[in-house]
């Protein structure tokens, strides 16, 4: 009798693993790429039938995208989308809620997305105007010679020849355009929404730090230029702080150029090589 009980107990013990494995795993895995062509590239799933647990959004990614478009400004709707991720996929499959993320990490933030979109828009404008600004800036430097008074080199004691009015006008026009475009460029950088908690890191730090050189330079250069022109018009040799006009201008251009390169750094130098 005792042996029979022992045998029964052992049989029970032997059956327990089978009973445990026999637990249903919820919905059978049915998701397949073929029913969901919009979400996957042909290279990703070449007609393969996948063996995956239920997708969290039964209507497929296309509808997710539509929902996203329809509810871009509705954070509550997005939260519902997010809640779908928290729902169990099947009886056995772990859920997002099992992983221990904080709600701040998992919940959609429509306001933040809006800020990011605005930020990108403003910084794209900043980039575009910044590159456009470089054109009149370089042109102003190229025509700077025409705005300078010239000495007669064969006779150092001779009279100083004043710059042609067209040369001065062109230089002033290009300089003024540069300053105007620079102002618009700066406006978009300043107006771009700041994202709280993000400290500048990497190449952008150089880009921002160089502002302390080219921004004062962009203010000083036209002032010194006007002073120099005034002195030339009075028949004086350019002297005093006005004589620093070209040095300040060159420093400004150098800082501006480095700033453009810095924000694009690191540049893959062998970019012409195709992989």
Partner 1 sequence: MKFAAVLLLAVAPVMLHAQNQWVLTQSTLTWNVTHPMHEVAGTSHAAKGKGNCSAGQCDFLIAVPVNTFDSGDSNRDLHTLEVVRGAQFPMVIVRTHLAQAALNQPIIDADLEVQFAGQTAHYAHVPLHGTSHGTDVEITGTVPATCSDFKIDRPSFLTVPIRNEIPVTVDATWKPE
Smallest gap, in angstroms, from Cβ of residue 174 to partner 1? 24
Nearer residue to partner 1 within complex by CB, 118 or 169:
118
Smallest gap, in angstroms, from Cβ of residue 33 to partner 1? 4
Nearer residue to partner 1 within complex by CB, 156 or 266:
266
Nearer residue to partner 1 within complex by CB, 43 or 157:
43
Smallest gap, in angstroms, from Cβ of residue 50 to partner 1? 4
Cα–chain-centroid distance for residue 197? Answer: 16
Nearer residue to partner 1 within complex by CB, 123 or 125:
123
Smallest gap, in angstroms, from Cβ of residue 270 to partner 1? 10
Burial of 8 (C-beta count, 10 Å sphere; 0-12/13-18/19+): exposed
Q: How far is CA 153 from CA 91, 145, 160, 244, in A?
A: 94, 16, 10, 22
CA distance 160 to 168: 16
Smallest gap, in angstroms, from Cβ of residue 25 to partner 1? 6
Three-state DSSP at 161 gives: strand
Q: Which residues contact 207 (CB under 8 A, 6 or more apart)?
A: 259, 262, 263
CA distance 182 to 184: 5
What are phi and psi for residue 235, nearest 5 degrees?
80, 10
Nearer residue to partner 1 within complex by CB, 120 or 230:
120
């Amino acid at each position: 009798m005792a042996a029979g009980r022992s045998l029964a107990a052992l049989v029970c013990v032997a059956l327990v693993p089978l009973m445990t494995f026999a637990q249903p795993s919820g919905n059978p895995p049915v998701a397949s790429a073929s029913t969901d062509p919009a979400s996957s590239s042909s290279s990703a799933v070449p007609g393969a039938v996948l063996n995956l647990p239920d997708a969290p959004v039964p209507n497929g990614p296309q509808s997710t995208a539509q929902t996203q478009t329809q509810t871009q400004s509705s954070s509550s709707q997005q939260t519902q989308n997010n809640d779908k991720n928290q729902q169990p996929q099947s009886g056995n499959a772990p859920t997002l809620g099992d992983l221990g993320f904080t709600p701040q990490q998992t919940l959609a933030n429509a306001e933040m997305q809006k800020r990011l979109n605005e930020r990108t828009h403003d910084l794209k404008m900043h980039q575009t105007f910044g590159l456009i600004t470089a054109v009149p800036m370089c042109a102003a430097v190229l025509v700077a010679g025409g705005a300078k008074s010239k000495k007669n080199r064969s006779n150092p004691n001779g009279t100083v020849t004043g710059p042609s009015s067209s040369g001065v006008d062109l230089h002033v026009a290009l300089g003024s355009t540069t300053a105007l475009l620079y102002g618009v460029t700066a406006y978009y950088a300043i107006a771009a929404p700041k994202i709280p908690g993000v400290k500048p890191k990497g190449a952008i730090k150089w880009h921002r730090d160089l502002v302390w050189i080219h921004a004062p330079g962009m203010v000083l250069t036209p002032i010194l230029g006007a002073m120099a022109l005034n002195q030339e018009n009075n028949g004086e040799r350019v002297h005093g702080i006005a004589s620093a006009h070209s040095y300040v201008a060159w420093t400004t251009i150098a800082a501006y150029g480095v700033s453009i390169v810095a924000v694009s750094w690191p540049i893959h130098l062998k970019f012409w090589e195709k992989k």
